Each structure stands twice: as C-alpha cells, then as structure tokens.
Amino acid sequence: MVSFSSEELKENLGTRFEMNAAIVEDLWKAYRIPHKKKESILENIASFLDMFESRRLDYEDFWAVKGVSLRIRKGESLGIMGVNGSGKSTLLKLIAGTIRPTRGKIDVRGKIAPILELGLGFHPELTVRDNVKIYASIMGLKNREIKNRMESILKFAELERFGDAKLKNLSSGMQMRLGFAVAIESNPDLFVIDEALAVGDIGFQTKCLDKFRDFQRNGCSIVLVSQSPAMISDFCHSALIMSRGEVVASGDARSISTKYITLTSPA
C-alpha cells in the first residue's frame, strides 16, 4: 500500500496544476445579429409587437467560436492565425474574461494580462500617470509597488517626458507602448496579445519581443494573435489556425505557419 503524506500530496497536486496555464474545453460563443437594432425600451416594445404579428424571430445567431478546445502549458507560447473574422479575437476575449462563453469551459490559472485591440482601458481625460495607477491597481499591484515601478513603466514606454500629459494627447503608437509597459510591469502569468504589436515601430517591437523572451524563460505563458507567420514561427512554440470559428490546424509553430502561408496565398 502506498501512502502519501499530505505534504507530498500537495506537491503532486501543485505540479499538476502548474503544468497548465490555461485550459479551454469545447468553447462556443454565439452573437445575436438582430435584424433591427434596438437599444431602447420603446424600440423593444415596438419590435416585440412586430414579432407577434409576423410570427418570426427578429434575430439570427452567429457562432463566432465553435467548439474550440486548447491547452496552454506553463511557459508555452501559442500563436493563433486566421483570416479576419475567423474568431481569433473573440477567442482571446473569452480567455481574458471580458466576455462569457455561450457554452464551454475556460480555466485560467494565475494572473492574466490582456492586450486586446489597441490600448488598455485607458481613460482619455486622465494623465498618463493616473492611467497607469488605475490599470496597475486593477492588475493587482499595491500602491507602493505602483509608485516604485512608475518610472520604469514610463521609461519602457519611452514616455518619461509625457507623464503628466493627458492620454488623449498621445499618439496611438504611444498609447500602445504605454499599454505594453504596464502589462509587462504587472508580472502576469499569462499574456494575451491581440495583434497589438503591429502598431509599434521596429525598435519597440524588438524591445518587447526581447522582454517576452525573458518572460518565456521565467515560465510565463503567452497567447499571441498575429497576421505575421514569421513572427509566430520565430516566437511561439506551437500554433493553430482558425477558420470560421473552428480550429482547422494545430501543431508546432514552424509547420503551422508554413501551412498558413500556403493556405492564404492566392491560388
């Protein structure tokens, strides 16, 4: 008979849990496409009466993500490719938790830093410093840590001179740089990046990728959506291709990105 001390048991469980940074099981997401847009109470009443008369539904379901399952191991970087509208961004939003799935399960362990679309929920009327404070405190940093890291965040974003400028006065590239800087300084376990790097200049891109390599070495996982097969094969361990909401191919990053090039090149 084998017996475990509680210490050993905990350790075993610990390593099992640590192996996966995120597990996604059979994920589905439907959006309703209304035939008529209704955002007010009056419109809702009107369309309800309408529906009653014509006896048909006034919306269609659009499935943006259809039964996606994936597993991201700790320290693994996963690249996601696919043409526009294939469900990549929806998948990332689901992983980041900003929208909820219609069906399926998502399990993310640890702190997640999403860089969805451009910028990170920054407020245009507030200064750069105030925005950093808010975002960092949402990311779970304490006020003292924020204070300590403020300068290094501004330095990484190359915005030292603009600390007290209102965010709306920054260019979109500057805002993106700031977003990356805060996300990087918040020490997440999982980065979720949606094509955001494309805006930065080459110098900044290289700087970020270097930083991400550091993170990879330290066991941080990354999910990267990109239209650049070169970046994916260069940077990620594994990759997958999405089409119409489904995963149509997955495997190691190099072969998948080659496949993506042949798939999308005009015949």
Q: Segment contacting another protein (CB under 8 A): 131-139, 148-156, 209-217, 234-242? A: 131-139
Please count the other Cβ atoms lying within 10 Å of the Cβ belonging to residue 249: 15
34 belongs to the binding site for another protein (CB under 8 A): no
182 or 232: whose CB is closer to another protein?
182
Q: Judged by CB under 8 A, which of 96, 181, 208, 247 binds another protein?
A: 96
Beta strand pairing status for 59-73 and 246-252?
unpaired
153 belongs to the binding site for another protein (CB under 8 A): no
Beta strand pairing status for 103-108 and 20-34?
antiparallel
Residue in 232, 214, 238 with CA at minimum distance from that of residue 71: 238
Question: Which neighbouring-strand residues pair with 267?
Answer: none
Q: How far is the CB of 55 from another protein (least distance, A)?
A: 24
234 belongs to the binding site for another protein (CB under 8 A): no
**Distance between CA atoms of residues 180 and 29, nearest Å:** 28
3-state secondary structure 192-236: EEECHHHHCCHHHHHHHHHHHHHHHHCCCEEEEECCCHHHHHHHC
Q: Judged by CB under 8 A, which of 100, 144, 161, 217 binds another protein?
A: 100
96 or 178: whose CB is closer to another protein?
96
Q: Segment contacting another protein (CB under 8 A): 11-19, 49-57, 125-133, 236-244? A: 125-133
Give residues in contact with another protein (CB under 8 A).
Answer: 31, 39-42, 44, 93, 96-100, 112, 114, 116-117, 119-123, 125-126, 130, 133-135, 137-139, 143
